[in-house]
Every structure is written in C-alpha cells, then in structure tokens.
Amino acid sequence: MSAAAPVVELKQITKRFPGIVANDAISLTLEKGEIHALLGENGAGKSTLMNIVFGLYQPDEGSIEIDGKPVIIDNPNKAIELGIGMVHQHFKLVEPFTVTENIVLGMEPKKGLKIDYKSAAEQVRKLSEQYGLQVNPNAKIHDISVGMQQRVEIMKTLYRGADILIFDEPTAVLTPQEITELMAIMKRLVAEGKSIILITHKLKEIMQISDRVTIIRRGKVIDTVKTSGTNPNELAEKMVGRGVTFKVDKQPAHIGEGILKLSDVRSKSKDGVPVLNGLSFEVKAGEILGIAGVDGNGQSELIQAITGLRKIDSGSITVSGKEIANLSPRKVSEMNVSHIPEDRHKHGLVLDFTVSENMVLETYYKSPYNQNGFLNKDVINQHAEDLVKQFDVRTPSIENKARSLSGGNQQKAIIAREIDKNPTLLIAAQPTRGLDVGAIEFVQKQLIAQRDQGKAVLLISFELDEIMNVSDRIAVIYEGQIVGEVFPQDTNDQELGLMMAGSLKRGGHADV
Amino acid sequence: MEVLGQLLNTTLVFSTALIFAALGGIFSERSGVVNIGLEGLMMFGAFAAAVGGYYAQEAGMGEWAPWVGVLSAMAVGVIGSLIHAVASITFKADQTISGTVINFLAAGSTLYMVKLIFDGSGETPLIDGFSKVSIPGLSKIPVIGEGIFNSYPTTYLAIILVVVIYFVLFKTPFGLRLRAVGEHPSAADTLGVNVNKMRYIGVMLSGLLAGIGGATITLTTTGTFAHNTISGQGFIAIAAMIFGKWNPLGAFGAAVFFGLSQAIRNYVQLFEWSKSIPQEFIFMIPYVLTIIVLVSAVGRSSAPKALGEPYDPGKR
Amino acid sequence: MSRIKKIFATDTYIIPLIAILLGFLVGAIVMLIGGYDPVAAYSALFKRVFGSPYDFGEAVREMTPLMFTGLAVAFAFRSGMFNIGADGQVMIGMTAASVVGIKLGGVLPAFLLVPLAVIAAGVCGGLWAGIAGYLKAKRGINEVITTIMLNWIALFLSNYIVRTFLLLQGQNRSEDNPASLSMTFLFSTFDNARLHWGTVIALAAATFFYVYLWKTKQGYEMRAVGLNPHAAEYAGMNVGRNVIKAMFISGVFAGLAGAGEVLGVFHYQSVFAASPGYGFDGIAVALLGLTHPLGVILAAILYGTLTYGSAGMSFGADVPPELIRIVIGSIIFFIAAQGIVRWVLKPFYFKRKKEKVL
C-alpha cells in the first residue's frame, strides 16, 4: 500500500473568509481502499475543506495531488473528471424529478435530440445491483425515504465514475438501522476499490468503520491517528480541546402534575394526506419528554398543532387543563407556552431586525413595551441589555442586526427570549442543530434548568444521543403516531431505532 | 356557425402575441428568474418589428418584409433581456425590480428612438405587415377551417412553437438542466451544470420570444408602433403563464382563453342586447376574468422552487 | 457625532448618489448617439425648472403626486409587497374626490366638503388596494398581477362613473368640482402656478409613514411581516391582516394623490384614454428613495424636476422628453444592481485605503 501514491494528498491547504481562517495549512492523505474519517466540531472547517476538494471553493494557499499528480480543481466538473464524488449532507436532489433524472442530470445519455431514458434507467438499475442499493429508477424523489434519497446521492457519484467518495455527515438524518445499512454499503464500496472520506462529528461511527482519523479544530489539523490505536474519549478530547463528559449532569426529576396533554390528535396535509394520525401523549411539570423519530414523521406538524400554527381535524390538546387546539399562535403563547423553533433563521428571528427588536418579538404589544400604541424604546432596549447579559449572548451591541450574530448566539438570543417569558411549557425543536459543543452544552443545561424549576419541557430532536442524554422519558413518533414510550435507562439505540422505523411498538398510549 | 369561425379566428389573432410572450416567460421562470419585464420586452419587439419591417418594405422586400421585422424584434428582444440578465443574475439584483427597469427603459427608449428616426413623430409609418395564409384543404373544414387554418403565419408559428418548446423542456437534456436550475440550482451546480449560463439562456430566450410576441402585434394588428401599442399584454402573458402552471401546453390554453375574452369584447358589440351594457364593462372583461381565474386556480404551488432567488454558491 | 460619522461611513447614501450620476451619464451618452448636445439639454432642463417663479411652482405641483405614489409603493415594499397598482388607486381616489365634490358641492359648506372629498379619495384608494391585499392574504395570489389587473379595471370604472354621473354636457370631462385644495394666497407670488395643499398633505403623509412604521406597535408588526412573514407568524402576529392593512395604507397614499390632482390642479376629471401613469412613476420614486420616507420625498423632488424640466429640454435642445425615462430607468437599474456601482466605486475605495496606510 505504501508503494503507490495516495489517491488524494492535500498539502498545506489554507482558506480565508472575511474575518476568519477556515482552513489553516491543512494536510491530509487518503490511501486507496481506505475509509478516512475527518472529525471536527461544527464550524471546525471540515466542510470548507471538502468543498475545496470538490472544486466549490478555491484554496488561498496549498496544493492538491490526485494519484501523485498535482491538480487544480476549479469547479465541480473538474472534480468529477478526476473521479471525486461528494455525498452532500443536505441532499442535492430535485424533488419533482425521478431518481433516474436526478442521477443523469448533466451527463444525460442521448438518442437523437432526446434523453434516452430507457438506457439511463437501465444503467441506474445496473449500478444499483452492483452495489446492492435497491433503488427504483423510476420513483420520484419526494416519494422515497430519506435513506433511499441518500442512496440516490451515492449513485450520482458512481454514475460519474467516482473513485473517491466524500460523505458529508451522512448519518445525521438516518435511523440506527439505516446507519447500519449505510455502513455496509460503504464497506462494499471500499471492497470494490473506492476510497472514502467520511466527515462526521460522531465518534461511534468513526470507531465502527474508519481506518484512520484526522481531527481538525478551528481550521487546524490536530492529529491523524489509526482508528485501531485510539478510543472515543481521546478523540473527543482532541476534537474539543478539553475533557468532555458524554453524560449530561442532571438530578433526578421531581415530576409534578400533567401540563401538556394530547389525545387522539389528527390532522391532514394540504393534499389530504394524514400527517398526525391519532397522536396522544402527556408532558408533566418538572420533566423533559423527548420525542424521537426520523425527520418527516410528523414532528414539525406536531409542534405546529400545539403552537397554533396548524389546524387539527379532531382530538384535543390541553395546557394546564385548558383546551388550546385550533387557537391562534398568539392565544397559545399567552397560555404560557414558549417555543424554540426548529428553523431559527426562518421561524425564530427576524434577521434584519436588531437584537433588541428580536427580544420582544412576541411581547411587543404588551405593557411596558407598548404604551398607547407607541413602542417604548428605552424599556425595550433595557430588556434586551438584561437578557444579553444574563444569557451571555455575544453581540457588539443590542443595536446590531440579528443576522450578524453567530449561529450559537442567535440560538442563545431565542432561548433567552423564550425562557424570559417564564413558560409553564417549553417546546424545544432541534435546539442544538448546527451548534458547536460549547453551545450545545449551554442549551442542554438551560433545558434541564427549566425542568428543575418545575416547567414541562417537550424536546424534539433527530439526534438520538441528545434524546437519550437529556430526556426523562422518551416517546417515539412514527408516521404521525406515538408508537412507543420508554425511559432512557430501560432502552437502547437498537430498540429505539426499530421503533423509529415502525417495526416495533412499546408501551404508552399507542393502541398496539 | 360563420360567426363562431370568425370568433375563433379573432381569438387566435389576439392570443398569438400572448402565446409567444408566455412561452418566453416560461423559459425565464423555469430557470428561476422572475420576468415581470415581459411587457417591456414586447415593447422592444413591437418597436423593432415596426422599424425593421418599415425599412425592409421600403427596400422593396415585399412579402418578406414582415419577416425582417420579426428578426429585428428577436434581436432587440434579446438585447433588452440582457439588461435583466446582467442585473439579476450577475449582479444578483432583485428580479422584480430589475424586470420593472426593463419596462421603464423600454417605454422610454423605444419612443425616443421612434422620434429620433422619424423626425419627431410619435408613431412609426404604417406598414403592410403579414397577410393571412390559408392552408389548402384544411381551410375548407367548417368552423375550424375558417377559425384556425386561415390565420397569420405568426399564429402557425406560435402553435408549432408550443409543441417544440414542450418537447425541449421535457424531453431534452437542455430542458432537464433548465428545470433543474430553477428547482434546485445547487444540485445542478454540483453536477457540473453551469447555473448562471442556463439562467442567461432562459432569460435571453424569454427576450427572443417576447420580442416576437410584440412583433406580432405590430405586424398583424396595428401596423405601426406608438406609445400605446403594447398596453398590458405582457402582464396578461405573465398571468397566462401562471395560470398554465409554467407548462407550454397550459400557457397555450390560458393564452387562448385570454384571447377569447378579448375577442368576445369585440364580437359582443355586434349584438343588439349588448348596447345596454356600458362599453367600459365590456372592456373590463379580460382583466376581471384574469383575477377570477387566478382566484380559482391553484396559487404558486407549481412554481419553480428556486424562482426569484439569486444563486449564491457559497450559501447552502 | 458618532451617529453622523456612521451615516457617512455606510455606502447606503453613496450608492444612490453614484447611481444618479451614472443615470445622467447614460442619458448623456444616449443623447450623443442621437446627435444631441447633452450639456445644452441638461442645462435647459434645470433652467426650465428654476427659471421663473411660475415654473418652479409648477415643478412643485409635478412633484406632489410623485411624493404620494412614491410613499404608497414604498410603504407596501416595507411590508413585503410590490404595489404596482398605485395607478389604479390614484384614479379611484380622483373619482371619489370628484363624486363627493361635485355631488355634494351644493349641499355642504366648503370647510366640510373639501376634507370629506379628500378623505373619500384616501379611503377609496385604500379599499381598492385592499382588494389586492385581501386576495394575497386569503388566496395567496401574487399582488403584482392583481394590482395590474385592478389598474385596468379602475381606469374603465372611473371613466364609466365620469361619463355616466358627472359628465359636463358635450365634453369629455366631468363638471367643474367646487371643492378646491388650491393655495390661492400663493398664486400672486408664483404667477398663478397651480400650488395646492396636497403638497403639505404629502409631507404630512411622509411623517406619518416614518412615525407609524418605526415608532408604533402596529408598524413594528408590519415591518416584521415584511422582513420575515414566517417568523412573524410564529411570534403570533396575524400575517394576513397585516398584509391587508399595509395595502390599505399604501392605497390611501395613492388615493390622496388623486385628490390633490382633481381638487388642487385640474378642478375636474377627464375621461382617460389610457392610464395616466402616476403609479409607475411612484415605483421609480420609491426605489430611488430606498423606500424610506425621507428618501422618497427627495426622490420625488428629483424625479419631478426631471420630468417637469424634460419639457424644457425638448423645447430648448430639441431632445425628445422620453429621454428622461431612460435616465430614470438607468438610475433604478444601478440602484437595483448595486454590485455594478460598487464595482465602479472600487478603485476609489482602494485609493482611500492606500492613502490611509501611507
């Protein structure tokens, strides 16, 4: 192995963005037939590095060699020519197109002027068989599962003859079973002579599948080690730069009376497809109920139903015994319900408002902010100053636009606003997505602090680790139903995974 | 029966310009660029056709002269659309504003040039334009023969283009790429499809087709170009495109519908009972119908997903 | 002090200025191509406006509806909507002022009649725009299309009302309107230029625009809806109601423009052959003024100067007045495509920085 040149060699790659060095003299080699993990926190520079390899960005300094030959990769076409393929974290699939159309886009087989869909589908079917992917060439993207969509992404690279595959956080949206299947696919790819770079921040996967690991932190390579010679604790420490505890500190819960109660909630999408399918559960004061599930099984709709953003067809939703189903979002908010939304840019903040203005987004109409129809700017600013201080929101001033804050600080601002409302029920949807370890710890601590103050907390997350660590009780959602309720100490990833995939039901209100 | 054939024929005369412009709009918007500038592009086309047609006629080109007009309209339409393309694609300007700019510049520059070329006159000299062409045999079919197969060459061209563009959009690699760029530009980009290039082509094709649309009006209806030659047709073409769900066949149907509502306005005045209706209300028909149609049709659900968003590869 | 510094540090103000210069430059080039003398033309333009008290007064008259329609378009823009229909709203406002003024002229004393006519114009303009707002809020229909269609409908509806109910026998216009907004006390100073109270109302409207949007609870809501309707909805604001309200207020501004024209300038209403075009000018003014009320007033002054002066240009230098539309279109183009202006400015910025280093 050492005799042949590495398939990819990155030499001293440096990439600067205004105000930040995203990659600082990064060097890395990928050997043929190897699975090389690239480990780092959100924002450590992994994605920037891979976008450079894939030709989406140009490095400011440094060089790239493929099979020992120096190359310049100035656009994705060049990368494709060199046999590099990328499986993006956020799938880049055209929804209304078929699997085949997505795969051949840009390299369509032709018959006369027309696209030769017949031979295209045939090629797709062959590739699918060769790597055991089981993809239906004629299915439309919006009709297939997330796991299948990822396989389409993989096939897009294979169709272009890629030998070097980059997987960017590939397991983020998969169930544990789908992750196992993906690992098998990756092994098979390597066995067929491909080489893989796996970008991830999940240590478990690295230990399971990779041959070597390169750890980067704040744009710099910290170390490259053989997987067989390391352990998760050592990797974590290198990634974060200090000792990390995997378990979140928390005292036993003091559970009080029921606060949020849903029974047999049903709702349909615009097209008449049921999205909430007789959903029932309860959250009590002083507990965190975690909703586990694969993206798209009704989580968003569930939150919308509780917060008044979606009408339900039947069933009941009560907060502290009062019916809130089909009330307006404002009315629900006034029932002491706080909501940390899933998409902070789209739903949580008005990015072009100042931090100060964002802090009163839900309370601007109340005294003392509103006086006879006019806003009292002094009071609003003072309130913002207080929250910024109390929750350590890093901003040059409260007059800065929310857009200029980092993701972690934006999330802190939202959490400050929502917790400041002193809610009886706090709904947190994906509250740590895209944050670095420090911010994640902060957010999780805040959730636990709320629970310790006797608030009911509903946590929705796709990250199983988070659900397992933070929740006092776990409810699993599948196709708009709660298919199981378990305690974190009585279950494991495998069992949760089976429930999330709909093949196991356990306990709770679900009619089994 | 005879009236019905005539009505159909007039409908097609009115529809033809709308069909061209709506097809143009489809190319632009399918690639992800809103084109509210269709009105201005039609104005450019109408102007160029009047001027080009006039000089060709003066040069003694006879029945070929209107075709020179069409070619001039295509060229000027494309040049006009480039302003929109540069602003909204290269410089990422707001697409609605940049389309509005086209409408402004077209209104100003066409009249400026008319006055410049024709010694201060506000109108181009009257030209012959196209004559209707009967298709042997087919034009003898009752109603349809009179209605369809005895039309201006531009009408035949429009109908052929509907089919051709449908084929291009849905059967060819070019069409697949264009639609991909309008739906999910970064997906297309990562597969090596040049997003900006596709969008430039989309916008330029919209200029070309809207230009022909404008030419149709000068060369088959008015015979001259003045400040009111194009008055709202571009906007109705946008409505036709939306109503037709960004599909050439649908847009064709919608354009014919709007053409019909305009034709009815003329025909209804032939009847005695219509005298009791104030003419203004008859004039309103197409516009009221447009709103009613939009109210009853599905909203933007079928619009290209990335419509209106400048593509920024750094953003994911 | 630091505030003043901030104003000059940002390029928010520089870009429109450069865009205006570039626009004039494009106009000059177009004139050169056409064989005209741009210097003579531009100086004729400004001479026309500032040459006599009458012309100056008339230029102010020209600016007034532009202020209103500019504010109308800008207000809708701030709330996330593109109101292309100010034109129709102006016509509806005119018609309302005509109906009230002419029909109630013999019944009410002037001090009631005039305010009533003005209010009717504003309210009717607002309701007309509100139709588009309603269709957007309830049915999700793009307001661009509906407001354009409503322009046509307003044109025909206004003509119908004038022809049927208000017609001066044998003429293509309404009877004279007894309600008057004219500032007759200024007529001697400005040589009978048609100055009217509408200008004052427009300045008041700009003040209202600023205070309402940036100082009140409702304005806060409206800006939130305009900047991010999703977040506004999540925060418990009623997006649909704000959309309708914003369009209504936008339409009120436009309707008041109509009142000014009918009650202050013409004192009757014509049967229109085509749309008078106030609304489209309003789009230009709003974009030119960066949709800020103060900017809109300044932009209206510029635009009014250019359009009123363009007549002098065609008279003095024989240049077709349409040239001004090219100039204005170019200015908006450069403002919209700010990248081009930044690109033009780049060498200057670099120079300045280098100087600093040295």
Q: Is residue C28 part of a domain?
A: no
Contact across the interface for C216 and A357, Cβ inside 8 Å: no
Contact across the interface for A351 and C228, Cβ inside 8 Å: yes
Name the pLDDT band for C348 (thresholds 50, 70, 90): low
Same domain, A105 and A190: yes
Return d(Cα B7, Cα B29) in angstroms, integer: 32
CB-based contact, B38 to chain C, within 8 Å:
no
Same domain, A85 and A222: yes
Contact across the interface for C221 and A309, Cβ inside 8 Å: no
Name the pLDDT band for C110 (thresholds 50, 70, 90): confident
Same domain, A47 and A85: yes
- Work out the minimum CA distance from C197 to partner chain B, whole angstroms: 30
Q: Is A239 helix (H, G, I), strand (E, B) or coil?
A: helix
- Work out the minimum CA distance from A166 to partner chain B, whole angstroms: 13
Contacts of C336 in chain B (CB under 8 A): 87, 93-94, 97-98, 101
Contacts of C232 in chain A (CB under 8 A): 350
In this prediction, residue C240 carries a pLDDT of: 95
Q: Is C176 helix (H, G, I), strand (E, B) or coil?
A: coil
Return d(Cα A112, Cα A278) in angstroms, integer: 53
Same domain, A229 and A279: no
Q: Is the N-terminal amide bond of A368 cis, ω within 30° of 0?
A: yes
CB-based contact, B87 to chain C, within 8 Å:
yes
- Between C274, C322, C336, which is nearest B97 by CB? C336
pLDDT digits (tens, 9 = 90+) for C12-60: 678 888 889 999 999 999 999 988 999 999 999 888 888 889 999 999 9
In this prediction, residue B117 carries a pLDDT of: 92
Q: Is residue C351 part of a domain?
A: no
pLDDT digits (tens, 9 = 90+) for C160-217: 999 999 888 888 899 899 988 988 888 888 888 899 999 999 999 999 999 999 999 9
* Chain B: residue whose CA lies nearest to C335: B93
Q: Is A354 helix (H, G, I), strand (E, B) or coil?
A: strand
Q: Is the pLDDT of residue B299 over 90?
A: no
- Work out the minimum CA distance from C281 to partner chain A, whole angstroms: 28
Which residues have C-beta within 8 Å of that of residue A314, sequence separation ≥ 6?
A264, A265, A266
- Between A86, A101, A114, which is nearest B190 by CB? A86
Contact across the interface for A92 and B184, Cβ inside 8 Å: yes
C-alpha pair distances (Å), A10 with each of A22, A28, A86, C219:
15, 5, 16, 54
* Chain C: residue whose CA lies nearest to A417: C235
Q: Is residue C19 part of a domain?
A: no
In this prediction, residue A162 carries a pLDDT of: 93
Return d(Cα B111, Cα B109) in angstroms, integer: 6
On whether the CB atoms of residues A364 and C272 are closer than 8 A, the answer is: no
Chains A, C: CB pairs < 8 Å: 62
More confident residue, C347 or B272: B272
Contact across the interface for B284 and C157, Cβ inside 8 Å: yes
Contacts of B112 in chain C (CB under 8 A): 30, 34, 320, 322-323, 325-326
Domain boundary among A178, A205, A240: A240
CB-based contact, B305 to chain A, within 8 Å:
yes
- Between B188, B313, B316, which is nearest A105 by CB? B188
Contact across the interface for A105 and B313, Cβ inside 8 Å: no
Q: Is residue A65 part of a domain?
A: yes
- Between C34, C149, C339, which is nearest B287 by CB? C149
Contacts of C235 in chain A (CB under 8 A): 329, 333, 361-362
Q: Is residue A406 part of a domain?
A: yes
Q: Is residue A371 part of a domain?
A: yes
In this prediction, residue A3 carries a pLDDT of: 56
Give the residue ranges of chain A where pLDDT is below 70: 1-3, 243-247, 507-512
Contact across the interface for A97 and B190, Cβ inside 8 Å: no
Contacts of A357 in chain C (CB under 8 A): 220
What whole-number percentage of chain B has pLDDT above 90? 59
- Work out the minimum CA distance from B293 to partner chain C, whole angstroms: 11
Same domain, A136 and A236: yes
Return d(Cα A372, Cα A370) in angstroms, integer: 6
Return d(Cα B50, Cα B45) in angstroms, integer: 9
Q: Is residue A113 part of a domain?
A: yes
CB-based contact, B1 to chain C, within 8 Å:
no
Return d(Cα B129, Cα C261) in angstroms, integer: 41
On whether the CB atoms of residues A505 and A499 are closer than 8 A, the answer is: yes
Q: Is residue C22 part of a domain?
A: no
Contact across the interface for B112 and C329, Cβ inside 8 Å: no
In this prediction, residue B282 carries a pLDDT of: 83
- Average predicted confidence (pLDDT) for chain B: 90
Contact across the interface for C231 and A347, Cβ inside 8 Å: yes
Contact across the interface for A95 and B305, Cβ inside 8 Å: yes
The amino acid at residue A106 is: G
- How many other C-beta atoms lie within 10 A of the C-beta of residue A118? 11
- How many other C-beta atoms lie within 10 A of the C-beta of residue A293? 29
- Between C135, C145, C332, which is nearest B104 by CB? C332
* Chain C: residue whose CA lies nearest to B278: C160
Domain boundary among A389, A417, A445: A417
- Bridge partners (DSSP) of residue A428 are A340, A459
The amino acid at residue A231 is: N
In this prediction, residue C244 carries a pLDDT of: 97
Q: Is residue A347 part of a domain?
A: no
Return d(Cα C15, Cα C349) in angstroms, integer: 13
Chains B, C: CB pairs < 8 Å: 132
Q: Interface pTM (ipTM) of the complex?
A: 0.87
CB-based contact, B191 to chain A, within 8 Å:
yes
Q: Is residue C332 part of a domain?
A: no
Same domain, A127 and A85: yes
* Chain B: residue whose CA lies nearest to A113: B172
Return d(Cα B133, Cα B123) in angstroms, integer: 28
In this prediction, residue C141 carries a pLDDT of: 85
Pinpoint the alpha helices (H) of chain C: 2-9, 14-33, 38-50, 53-78, 86-103, 110-139, 143-161, 198-215, 217-227, 229-234, 239-259, 278-288, 293-317, 323-336, 338-357
Residue C251 sits in a domain whose CATH number is 1.10.3470
What residues make up the domain containing A263? 245-336+423-512
Q: In total, how many domains does chain A have?
A: 3
pLDDT digits (tens, 9 = 90+) for B213-257: 999 999 999 999 998 899 889 988 998 898 888 999 999 999 998
Q: Name the one residue in this structure whose structure tokens are 């077709």.
A: C320
Q: Is residue C279 part of a domain?
A: yes
Contact across the interface for A346 and C228, Cβ inside 8 Å: yes
Same domain, A189 and A236: yes
- Work out the minimum CA distance from C76 to partner chain B, whole angstroms: 14
Per-residue HEC secondary structure of A168-233 comes to: ECCCCCCCHHHHHHHHHHHHHHHHCCCEEEEEECCHHHHHHHCCEEEEEECCEEEEEEEHHHCCHH
- Chains with 3+ CB–CB pairs under 8 A to B are A, C
In this prediction, residue C353 carries a pLDDT of: 43
Choose the weakest-confidence range: A324-328, B274-278, B312-316: B312-316
Pinpoint the alpha helices (H) of A196-348: 203-209, 232-240, 299-307, 329-333
- Which positions in chain C have a beta carbon within 8 angstroms of at least one beta carbon in chain A? 215-218, 220-221, 223-224, 227-228, 230-238
Same domain, A43 and A165: yes
Q: Name the one residue in this structure whose structure tokens are 């201060």.
A: B120
Choose the weakest-confidence range: A170-184, B6-20, B43-57, B178-192: A170-184
Same domain, A85 and A28: yes
Instruction: Walk across the sheet containing A258-268 and list its strands.
Output: A274-284, A258-268, A314-319, A322-323
Q: Is C32 helix (H, G, I), strand (E, B) or coil?
A: helix
Contact across the interface for A349 and C217, Cβ inside 8 Å: no
In this prediction, residue B1 carries a pLDDT of: 62
Same domain, A363 and A221: no
Q: In total, how many domains does chain C have?
A: 1
Contacts of B183 in chain A (CB under 8 A): 94-97
CB-based contact, B134 to chain C, within 8 Å:
no
Domain boundary among A240, A266, A287: A240
Q: Is the pLDDT of residue B315 over 80?
A: no
Q: Is residue A39 part of a domain?
A: yes
Helix axes of A377-390 and A407-420: crossing angle, nearest 10 degrees: 110
- Between B176, B183, B192, which is nearest A95 by CB? B183
Q: Is residue A231 part of a domain?
A: yes
- Chains with 3+ CB–CB pairs under 8 A to A are B, C
Return d(Cα B61, Cα B56) in angstroms, integer: 6
More confident residue, B178 or A50: B178
What residues make up the domain containing C95? 37-318
- Between C217, C227, C231, which is nearest A364 by CB? C217
Which residues have C-beta within 8 Å of that of residue B116, sequence separation ≥ 6?
C34, C320
Contact across the interface for C322 and B107, Cβ inside 8 Å: yes
Contact across the interface for B111 and C320, Cβ inside 8 Å: yes
Name the pLDDT band for B305 (thresholds 50, 70, 90): confident
Same domain, A322 and A451: yes
Contact across the interface for C234 and A351, Cβ inside 8 Å: no
- Work out the minimum CA distance from A392 to partner chain C, whole angstroms: 23
Same domain, A74 and A16: yes
